[in-house]
Structures are given as structure tokens and as C-alpha cells.
Amino acid sequence: MVFIVILILSFLLQMVLPWWIVVIISFVTCGLIGKTGKISLWSPFFAVLLLWTGMALFKSLPNNNVLAVRVAEMLGVKAWWLILALTALLGGFAAAISGFCGYHFRKAILVPKTNSN
């Protein structure tokens, strides 16, 4: 459920908002409906990894990877697909950390306070 929500919201909101909206979406989604820490870490990671890989290929393949090749050359990398993989991994990492933080934020807020007298 977390995976689908993050994937759909990220796809829709990234059309009109900056890239870092995935961080906010992951934090809020995992803070509200994340069941475990493991789900809150891996679901955002794979959702954004899949979304960014798909969108990069959708935008890059029709123009023969011109921009990706130029960025790869600028960074001293031989293959354009390494740039695509690095971009998707960085986006997935940012979303994963955010989702994990959202889950633990909820746990920290909702934990009943005990009196240690």
C-alpha cells in the first residue's frame, strides 16, 4: 500500500512541484500508514527508484540519450546508463531515509510517556 501511494503521489506531484517533493511524500505517507520500519525504508526506495528510472528512460530514449550522454561525458563516465542509475539510486535513497524518519517520527510522538518515579 505504501509503495503504491508513494508511486502515484510522486508521479502526479512531480509534474508541478520540484523533485524534492518525494521526500515530503515519503515522510508523510510512512508517518501515516507505514506498518514497520522495514516497509517504511524499502517501499519509498523502490517506488522512487522505479518512478525515476521509468521517467528517465521515457524522456531519454526518444532523443537518443543526448542529454544523458553529455552529462556522462561531463562527469568523466563512459556510459549514459550509469548516470541514469546514479540518479535513480540517489532519489531512492532520499525517499528511503525520509520514509524511515517519518515512521520513527510517528512512533516517537505516539509512544505513551511513562513516569519514572
The string of pLDDT tens digits covering residues 7-48 is 999 999 999 999 999 999 999 999 999 999 999 999 999 999
Question: How many angstroms separate the CA atoms of 51 and 46, rounded?
Answer: 8
Question: How many angstroms separate the CA atoms of 6 and 38, rounded?
Answer: 15
Q: Which three cell numbers stand for residue 26?
A: 515519503
Confidence of residue 110 (pLDDT cuts 50, 70, 90): confident
Domain annotation covers residue 115? no
One-character DSSP codes across 62-103: GGTTHHHHHHHHHTT-S-HHHHHHHHHHHHHHHHHHHHHHHH
The pLDDT of residue 115: 64
Domain annotation covers residue 116? no
**HSE, side-chain direction, 13 A CA sphere, residue 34:** 28
Q: Give the count of domains, the chain.
A: 1
Kindly report, residue by residue over 67-92, the tens digit of the pLDDT: 999 999 999 998 999 999 999 999 99
The domain of 21 spans 2-109
Domain annotation covers residue 11? yes
The whole-model pTM stands at 0.88
